[in-house]
Structure 1
């Protein structure tokens, strides 16, 4: 089995928020209806609330005592449960590196990780509840200020945290982008899907993208509830914003599956986004990678079908598949068949590894990704996925 000894860029890691992460900078007038709080339900489960609205999917992730799922142990836990070991403990005490950037650097040194993309914690479950633009921008700016305090946006050129921006209000997005760039941001997290009936690459939003393009800021789309799908789910009689226990396979497949990320990324390409903003690169995180081959084939086919049709931002100069490979990066799951994906697309240059640390769903240590996912690949392609592509996505600065 392949034992990877090279450098590592971990493209999917997370922190956990401290108690005042959501309230430290939130203006008082928003706290009652839009403040984020963690409460213990009458059933004894810890759950996030936005105002008085319960974030159903967050219930039970952490215990009432603040214990968290053990990093990288989900498969081990599932195997134990399958074998009838009903006394398996799926909660552990959180460690300092889950909350503190200097402690995280030590953990990264232990893991052999040079640098990482750092995603949000409980916030990822709450974004879809921010349905009112003025309040949403106030909440997100307050959260981003906390993130700057505790993690920085480019800490020692090793931890690249991902402040959140929404395009629900263009003026607010422009102001936030300017503030983030002034504070050294390298990568931004955005919700998947359209904003106010417009694609994110619609020229209406160009003032926002021009700021990111000038600074070479990257943009990521991490798995979360794609709330723009709620009306479509309703047509099928499928409610959204449900707990994990009540969420159907249909919603997992379409609401949390490939559809939101495929629609979002293909929209950028068909809107000729990279012709206007070549310095902005996009990344999909924790959406897997098995959808990529079919997406590339379908985009190329649809470009041909609509060659003489309407192109809102001008006809593409290259095949959509080539534009994708040059401008989009994808964090694969360790269980993805990477050999098949590389063979079907003809390239490993857009693929990234991600440990999902400290979440349970990932691998115990980042190097384990090479063992689980890259075994059939060449040493060259393994090096690309484990390190080189990550450093192309966010190049190190002196």
Structure 2
């Protein structure tokens, strides 16, 4: 889904209202978080977007001509209504032959990283966005379109309150950033026992957890080599791509396994979304290796806990053969960032 300019602020309490603003820069609308303009998404209004399928050739045969992203995206089109509301989306699902779909927010992926020094603000803005999502999409539209509210984890008690609010409104899938939780004591692994009250409620409710690729803070790793700059996913950078590719989702899964969350909550269902599938084999190989050296540090085989708790959405261009062998076909999900 594409958010409107009021998505973050429609329900934002007045004391936080100045944290999210839209400003004009050389005639273009930009979003500013805590007074700092973000270029993470170049056009945060989504008035025009790349047409569906624009990158098909890029992923089918790579980019031997070295085209720019602007050339690859082609001529933009007005934002389709089916990217804005569930009502317009439903006939589009019929057209595509889909029974149902999870719908994830887009601009929301920049929020948490740019507010990580202010947990209270993070929780307030995320709740405001969730209210907007519920207004515009609901969380379960005719049992076919399932919009995913965000649960941010810095303050566990507030995360549980947010989860309960979503459950009261029929949520079927929640969205959690694959990243450390930046709380009052700094960054912490969501797999540590201090987060158990939250995961216990998620497991009890049986709600699916989507972990969609996001700005997970890994630009910090690039900055120690290239200097401190904002993560700009739409500006090509080979070094950044190599450093950051698969890193966030791999670390998140390793944290959930090695810090024991999957073992303590064996019925958690985690769907990794828009992270591809090429990271799975190296992760499994790493877990196999570490288990051989430190079996006493695990209450069960780490690979088994990973396979039991996780579903994977491979990229369109990923080879499925090896992935099916590792995960099984019932653990693979179809997804399209169209």
Residue 18 of structure 1: SS of its match in structure 2? coil
1:342 partnered with 2:324: yes
Match of 2:312 among 330, 355, 376: 330
Match of 1:222 among 202, 212, 217: 212
1:62 deviates by 6.2
Cα 1:122–1:80 shift into 2, 3 Å: farther
| Residue of structure 2 equivalent to 1:148 | 134
What is the CA–CA distance in structure 1 between the aligned matches of 2:102 and 2:109, rounded to whole Å? 15
What is the CA–CA distance in structure 2 between the aligned matches of 1:88 and 1:178, rounded to whole Å? 40
User: Are the equivalent residues in 2 in contact too, given 1:269–1:320 (CA < 8 A)?
Assistant: yes
Cα 1:245–1:35 shift into 2, 3 Å: closer
What is the CA–CA distance in structure 2 between the aligned matches of 1:134 and 1:253, rounded to whole Å? 33
1:221 deviates by 1.5
Relative contact order (C-alpha < 8 Å, sep 6+): which is higher? 1
What is the CA–CA distance in structure 2 between the aligned matches of 1:241 and 1:268, rounded to whole Å? 27
Cα 1:306–1:73 shift into 2, 3 Å: same
**Map 1:76-95 → 2, pairs under 5 A:** 76=57, 89-95=74-80
Structure 1, residues 166-211: CA drift from partner, whole Å, max 9, x if none? Answer: 2111221121112111221121111222223321011111111121
What is the CA–CA distance in structure 2 between the aligned matches of 1:300 and 1:81, rounded to whole Å? 40
Cα 1:203–1:254 shift into 2, 3 Å: same
| Residue of structure 1 equivalent to 2:193 | 203
Cα 1:244–1:278 shift into 2, 3 Å: closer
| Residue of structure 2 equivalent to 1:261 | 249
Higher mean displacement: 84-93 or 238-247: 84-93
1:86 deviates by 7.1
Match of 2:170 among 167, 172, 184: 184
What is the CA–CA distance in structure 1 between the aligned matches of 2:214 and 2:175, rounded to whole Å? 11
What is the CA–CA distance in structure 1 between the aligned matches of 2:54 and 2:146, rounded to whole Å? 25
What is the CA–CA distance in structure 1 between the aligned matches of 2:237 and 2:72, rounded to whole Å? 27
Residue 329 of structure 1: SS of its match in structure 2? strand
Residue 99 of structure 2: SS of its match in structure 1? strand
What is the CA–CA distance in structure 2 between the aligned matches of 1:133 and 1:83, rounded to whole Å? 41
Cα 1:79–1:305 shift into 2, 3 Å: closer
Cα 1:282–1:253 shift into 2, 3 Å: same
Structure 1, residues 24-67: CA drift from partner, whole Å, max 9, x if none? Answer: 101111111x1253x4421x44432224211122124767xx21
Give the aligned length.
329
1:108 partnered with 2:108: no
| Residue of structure 2 equivalent to 1:49 | 32
TM-score (norm 1): 0.76
TM-score (norm 2): 0.88
Cα 1:185–1:83 shift into 2, 3 Å: closer
| Residue of structure 2 equivalent to 1:8 | none
